[in-house]
Amino acid sequence: MHRLKEKIQVHNPRMKRTLTLFIILIAICTSGRSQKFSNEFLSIGVGARAQGLGNAVIARTDDVTSTAWNPAGLIGNTDLAGIQIGAMHNEWFAGVGKFDYAGVILPEWKGGRRIALSFIRFGIDDIPNTLSLYEADGTVNFDNVSEFSAADYAFLASYAQPLNVREGRLLIGGNIKVIHRIIGPFARSWGFGIDVGLQYHRGPWSFAAVGRDLTSTFNAWSFDFTDEEKETLSLTNNEIPINSVEVTKPTLILGVARRFQLNQVGITPELDINLTTDGQRNVLISGDPVSIDPAFGIEADYDQFIFLRAGVNQFQEISGFGGTQSWQARPSLGVGFAFSALQLDYAFSDQTGLDNGYSHVISLLVNLRKDG
């Protein structure tokens, strides 16, 4: 981050204050209690392009999916001034879990500023509710079995604008996100959070920094069980939950990418470093409270028409039989095609780290011209 600041020659004092505030917020928001892996569904990844690159995209993201990765990237594509619509569908465990995304960038206005809206859902549907399976006399009545869904929702409102610098191009963006999580009729929560991102482009180089959940994101949980359901939970040695608050601690992500152009062939590698602050995690560099998890992706394109991608992320140490230890990572592959106003992307990615965790990811981007 210090190198990024040194490279920027600022002639706008407001921008200098913005950069300082960004760093201070990261520093002061890393204290206090939290739950590990809170709101983890937002870390799965939006867009097949990002999934194919191992989620290493914050320095070069430049489309509507930037709302999930780095909101500053909403204005990274200088050729796009109109509306862009994006959608993605992804299924886990042979369709048991479903991940869906939809987003839109509104037309450019007032000096290149952009506003975007996004929606994310990750859910498991048709879960049997067996709390009323038994009658009072102990007999089984399958007619009492109903179904419910456990789903996580996120609504993001994003804003981005360019900042004046003497050399290169500096972009800044932010998200206000509302999170709603439900577990059938039994539990629900509402949460609110803020993300801030920067991108700096100079020649073939791109640098980025993203602060997620900068002020910590708070999910207030409430639970609703009938007296009969509480009795069933107690008799089956299950804990009856009480109203509580779940806290998501800040994450800082740093990224660097460089584009190499060989005639009509372009090659762009990117390295991202994820620094979590919620305690020791099983990642490449494990620490308390900060753990470091790298991600690497590389994209090759021919005339910005066809794209080939590969990535690796989420390095973990796995315990095997006999007490052996080994390192495991999550690889991914992807391909994309750009046809005029359409871009179709596909990724084959290991979503869970399990033997049956590979998933097919498909996403679509549609560009609409700006009126006038």
CATH number of the CATH domain containing 298: 2.40.160
CA dihedral 17, 18, 22, 24 (to 10 degrees): 20
For 206-250, the pLDDT digits (tens) are 999 999 998 888 888 888 877 776 776 777 777 777 777 888 889
What is the model's pLDDT at position 31? Answer: 36
* CA nearest neighbour of 304 among 341, 342, 265: 265
The neighbouring-strand residues paired with 312 are 296, 331
Locus of tokens 């990750």: 122
Q: Could you give the C-alpha distances from 210 to 49, 148, 199, 353, in angstroms and in order?
A: 19, 36, 9, 25
User: Which two structure tokens, joined as six digits, stand for 243?
Assistant: 């109203």
**Total domains present in the chain:** 1
What is the model's pLDDT at position 274? Answer: 94
What is the model's pLDDT at position 138? Answer: 66
pTM of the prediction? 0.81
What is the model's pLDDT at position 134? Answer: 64
What is the model's pLDDT at position 177? Answer: 94
What is the model's pLDDT at position 20? Answer: 40
Q: Could you give the C-alpha distances from 219 to 39, 138, 149, 185, 243, in angstroms and in order?
A: 9, 38, 19, 17, 11
What is the model's pLDDT at position 66? Answer: 95
What is the three-state SS of the chain? Answer: CHHHHHHCCECCHHHHHHHHHHHHHHHHCCCCCCCCCCCHHHHCCCCHHHHHCCCCCCCCCCCCCHHHHCHHHHHCCCCCCCEEEEEEEEEECCCCEEEEEEEEECCCECCCEEEEEEEEEEEEEEEEECCCCECCCCCECHHHCEEEEEEEEEEEEEEEEEECECCCEEEEEEEEEEEEEEECCCEEEEEEEEEEEEEEEECCEEEEEEEECCCCEEEEEEECCCHHHHHHHHHCCCCCCCCEEEEECCEEEEEEEECEEECCEEEEEEEEEEEECCCCCCCCECCCCCEEEEEEEEEEEECCCEEEEEEEEEEEEEECHHHCEEEEEEEEEEEEEEECCEEEEEEEEECCCCCCCEEEEEEEEEEECCCC
Question: What is the C-alpha to C-alpha distance for residues 130 and 330, in angstroms, rounded to an integer?
Answer: 36
**Apex 289 CA angle, 283 and 293, nearest 5:** 25
Question: What is the C-alpha to C-alpha distance for residues 5 and 3, in angstroms, rounded to an integer?
Answer: 5
Domain with 184, as residue range(s), is 2-368
Question: Using an 8 Å Cβ cutoff, are 75 and 160 in contact?
Answer: yes
Low-confidence ranges of the chain (pLDDT < 70): 1-37, 93-95, 131-138, 140-144, 229, 232, 351-357, 370-372
Question: What is the C-alpha to C-alpha distance for residues 202 and 167, in angstroms, rounded to an integer?
Answer: 7
Question: What is the C-alpha to C-alpha distance for residues 3 and 19, in angstroms, rounded to an integer?
Answer: 13
